[in-house]
Amino acid sequence: MARAFAEIAFTPQVRAAQERLGTAQAYARFLTPEAARGDSLGPDEAAFIAARDGFYQATVSSTGWPYVQFRGGPAGFLKVVDARTIAYADFRGNRQYLSTGNLAENDRVSLILMDYLNRRRLKIWGRARLVDAGAEPDLIARLHDQSYRARTERAVVIGVEALDWNCPQHIPQRLTLEEFEPHLAGLRDRIARLSGENEQLKAALGQSA
């Protein structure tokens, strides 16, 4: 865990819970000046983000309620602009604008990016700004994948405040259809081969009869 993440996450109430439950001493080291800062994206994070086709995003309403939604798109639609900035094209959806409205008042945002195949999870906290499609057309063009059939209404640009690679414990291993395809291809080849051998055997038995 990085210091920037601990500084945000370990509120006085959280620290009190850690004290009560016996984990405060173990986590105190992440709040020391010697701990890695962890507020910028490196090559590992950039590669991980580029491979994702979706993530979970949390915002907070004016009434204090959290709102979590899944944002999906073509792999790599969440882009690393620089070591402290990520951004994505906000595609038109059901037009409830819950996240849009929440971010207009409170720019804090939390993202969880999952790699179920390899049981890896990256958490990012940041502050988001919304850019309407007509305000910065060059940015929109950079973020929008022309091969993806969706309308971009705005860009969401997130300044990274903290990040953390999470423990893989309890992450279920799942495969998308694309990830499962190499395994299916081998099974299809085997089935085709066995079917061919079966037809040959049937033909041979028919001739001998």
pLDDT per residue as tens digits for the range 157-197: 999 999 999 888 889 988 888 888 887 888 888 899 999 99
Q: Which fold has domain 39-173?
A: Pnp Oxidase; Chain A (2.30.110)
In the predicted model, what is the mean pLDDT of the chain? 92
Q: What is the distance between the alpha carbons of residues 36 and 40, in angstroms, rounded to a whole number?
A: 11
Mean pLDDT of 84-95: 91
Residue where the block lists tokens 């958490």:
123
List phi, psi (to 5°) of 68. -115, 130
- The pLDDT of 136-161, averaged and rounded, is 90
Which stretches of 47-186 are assigned E, i.e. beta strand? 54-60, 66-72, 79-82, 85-91, 108-115, 120-132, 152-165
Mean pLDDT within 7-36 = 95
Q: Report the C-alpha gap between 100 and 35 in whole angstroms.
A: 35
Q: How confident is the model at residue 208 (pLDDT cuts 50, 70, 90)?
A: low
Could you give the CA distance from residue 86 to residue 163 in angstroms, rounded to a whole number? 12
Q: What is the pTM of this model?
A: 0.84
